Structure 1
């Protein structure tokens, strides 16, 4: 019985460790380098992918327009983006993300 518990604990640790590694890779892929007012955060426990859009700090009208456009696209394409994240989880053999699917949240600073 002890061996079974040990093996189960080891399996859970390996699955979650792999998930943490793939989550870090996902954040690196999603973070846009050319848009400094957009930041991406992924909660590795809940798998909530949060896009924070902070264009209010800039006086540049183009940046503010780009932020509004990005927010609109993310909100309209939410289901497609979540489906793509689920597909990516399967491709990367991320068992935790298959069990707890990614959800998208978009937040902006007024």
Structure 2
């Protein structure tokens, strides 16, 4: 990163803040993964935080390389689109597979099925 010395101060400050925000959110997601008890709680924390954390790191990267190369960098937009599309889908598939397995095995951690009877209004 020899070119980092050429980055103007007006761009260096937002890049640094975006990178700190992204790494802080990744840390929060990791702590949530470690501290929460069951699978259904644990799968939620990293999935929610990863999208915003990766987004801020990608914005910082876009700003950094756009300023240094004097052109708009689009690679990060493609990476962000893949992350935003694949993270929720992966979370949903993992949770449904675990829910199917737990209901089949009769686990105590299984969330209850919704009540099929209509509610009185």
Larger radius of gyration: 2
TM-score by length of structure 1 reads 0.41
Greater share of strand residues, 1 or 2? 1
Using CA pairs under 8 Å that are at least 6 residues apart, name the structure with larger relative contact order, 1 or 2: 1
Greater share of helix residues, 1 or 2? 2
TM-score by length of structure 2 reads 0.38
